[in-house]
């Protein structure tokens, strides 16, 4: 089977790593891919949002299945365009991507179908939202309505912070994504990411994951795209899983069917385990990043078989998972998520065999310079992932592997999975 993986970050490297383990794979292509995939995929020099170019490439290379990582090409209709050419796609059509690309649409969808979520008000302009916020005290959540690369959400503890967030949206920091705004109540509890495989009829949950959005240890500092993650999450008990199935997944499936979404791909459910029960924070229409970096090493089943079956419309076998835990530690460029330098040479020392067998370096913001050396090219540079029999064993391996890697100005959080280790989820 010829497979085209669309995207070039750490999420896509993890997907490529898992896809290449399938006996069903003939050749893997990646557009654009990254240096970490050089030995496992043919890299096509195409941007992930070059829809015309990707479709033409898929036709020319006789691609059987496309697997889409980022949200932007999905929102631009890559799945629709590929279907027109008779090419299967693991990734929802543009109509379904509105569950992620419009916060208002998602909130209205949840309200229509009785899916528990935070109380909200939606506004078509920042000025309308500002007048409403001026009547509140806080804390509240301010969300840009559109796609903002995971950074368009601000938890404002005070009215002043909320107004500052609205000012950033009005200034154009998030582009068109910030022209409309959703204001929500602040939910409290343990946050869990529940990704699912969707085949148009059913949702098959993956292991629960918890990521770390803040740049600093102790969950301090500005929000980022994610500084690390771990799976599974012990606070997500069988009792809670049953409640999520009954109150969220079942009405979600019914809503998708009633509104004829035919959703095929990864449907990511961001959950808050509140004192009143689990509630939905958000939906994403694709794999999470860095959640994917811990889910792929934990997935026992064949990812290519799963994605192909979902794209065909029938996943027969439930995915199987390894026992134990996985942890991902993100190595970032100094200054991230603010301004940072790129072009720093990346070095990795020889890795002991036992450590190499149980840990992986997934490339995110890397490139080759004119000399062919591996250098930094983004804020989040590498995802150092490890698996172990316990979360502590996985952590020990992840940090041991991180110690083998260095580049000028690098930093990473040293408290990934601290809630799991200390049992302090709230």
Residue 119: asked if its preceding bond is cis (omega within 30°), the reply is no
What does pLDDT average to over the chain? Answer: 95
Residues 239 and 306 in one domain: yes
Mean pLDDT of 281-306: 97
Residues 301 and 330 in one domain: no
Give me the domain span that covers residue 210: 188-312
Q: Which bin fits 193, alpha (ψ -120 to 50), beta or left (φ > 0)?
A: beta
- How many independent structural domains does the chain possess? 4
Structure tokens at 263: 């959703």
Residues 223 and 294 in one domain: yes
Mean pLDDT of 148-158: 80
pLDDT in tens, 360-384: 999 999 999 999 999 999 999 999 9
- As separate numbers, helices (DSSP H) first and strands (DSSP E) second, the chain gives 15, 24
pLDDT > 90: percent of the chain: 87
Where do we find the tokens 């967030």? Answer: 165
Mean pLDDT of 139-159: 84
Examine residue 140 and state whether it is found in any structural domain, yes or no: yes
pLDDT in tens, 197-219: 999 999 999 999 999 999 999 99
Examine residue 320 and state whether it is found in any structural domain, yes or no: no
β-strand partners of 227: none
User: Does residue 204 sit in helix, strand or coil?
Assistant: strand
pLDDT at 138: 76
pLDDT in tens, 58-117: 999 999 999 999 999 999 999 999 999 999 999 999 999 999 999 999 999 999 999 999
Residues 300 and 247 in one domain: yes
Q: Count other C-beta atoms under 10 Å from residue 62's C-beta.
A: 10
| Domain endpoint, select from 185, 205, 221 | 185
Query: What CATH number has the domain bearing residue 281?
Result: 3.30.470.20
At 151, the pLDDT band (50, 70, 90 cuts) reads: low
Examine residue 105 and state whether it is found in any structural domain, yes or no: no
Query: What CATH number has the domain bearing residue 129?
Result: 3.30.1490.20
Residues 200 and 276 in one domain: yes
Q: What is the pTM of this model?
A: 0.95
| Domain endpoint, select from 60, 94, 128 | 94
pLDDT greater than 90 at residue 282: yes
Residues 242 and 275 in one domain: yes
Examine residue 103 and state whether it is found in any structural domain, yes or no: no
């Amino acid at each position: 089977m010829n497979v085209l993986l669309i995207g070039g970050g750490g999420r896509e490297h993890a997907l490529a790593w898992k896809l290449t383990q399938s006996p069903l794979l003939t050749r893997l292509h990646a557009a654009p891919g990254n240096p970490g995939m050089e030995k496992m995929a043919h890299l096509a020099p195409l941007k992930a949002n070059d829809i015309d170019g990707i479709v033409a490439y898929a036709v020319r290379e006789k691609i059987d299945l496309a697997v889409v990582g980022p949200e932007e090409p999905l929102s631009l209709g890559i799945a629709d365009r590929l279907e027109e050419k008779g090419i299967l796609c693991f990734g929802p059509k543009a109509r379904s991507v509105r569950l992620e690309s419009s916060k208002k649409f998602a909130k209205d969808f949840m309200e229509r179908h009785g899916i528990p979520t935070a109380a909200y008000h939606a506004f078509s302009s920042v000025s309308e939202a500002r007048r409403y916020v001026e009547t509140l005290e806080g804390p509240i959540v301010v969300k840009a309505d559109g796609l903002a690369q995971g950074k368009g959400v601000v938890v404002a503890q005070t009215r002043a912070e909320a107004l500052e967030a609205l000012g950033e949206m009005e200034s154009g920091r998030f582009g068109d994504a910030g022209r409309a705004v959703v204001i929500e109540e602040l939910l409290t509890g343990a946050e869990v990411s529940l990704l699912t495989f969707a085949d148009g009829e059913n949702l098959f949950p993956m292991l629960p994951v918890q990521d770390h959005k803040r740049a600093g240890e102790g969950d301090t500092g500005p929000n980022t795209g994610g500084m690390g993650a771990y799976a599974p999450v012990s606070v997500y008990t069988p009792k809670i899983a049953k409640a999520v199935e009954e109150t969220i997944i079942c009405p979600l499936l019914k809503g998708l069917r009633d509104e004829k979404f035919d959703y095929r791909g990864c449907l990511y459910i961001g959950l808050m385990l509140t004192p009143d029960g689990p509630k939905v924070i958000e939906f994403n229409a694709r794999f999470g990043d860095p959640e994917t970096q811990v889910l792929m090493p934990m997935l026992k089943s064949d990812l290519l078989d799963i994605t192909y079956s979902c794209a065909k419309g029938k996943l027969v076998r439930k995915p199987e998972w390894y026992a134990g835990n996985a942890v991902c530690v993100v190595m970032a460029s100094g200054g991230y998520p603010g301004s940072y330098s790129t072009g720093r040479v990346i070095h990795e020392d020889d890795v002991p065999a036992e450590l190499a067998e149980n840990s992986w370096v997934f490339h995110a913001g890397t490139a080759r310079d004119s000399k062919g050396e591996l250098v930094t090219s983004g804020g989040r540079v590498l995802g150092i992932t490890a698996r172990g029999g316990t979360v502590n064993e996985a952590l020990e391996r992840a940090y041991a592997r991180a110690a083998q890697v260095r580049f000028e100005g690098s930093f990473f959080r040293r408290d990934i999975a601290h809630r799991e280790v200390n049992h302090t989820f709230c």
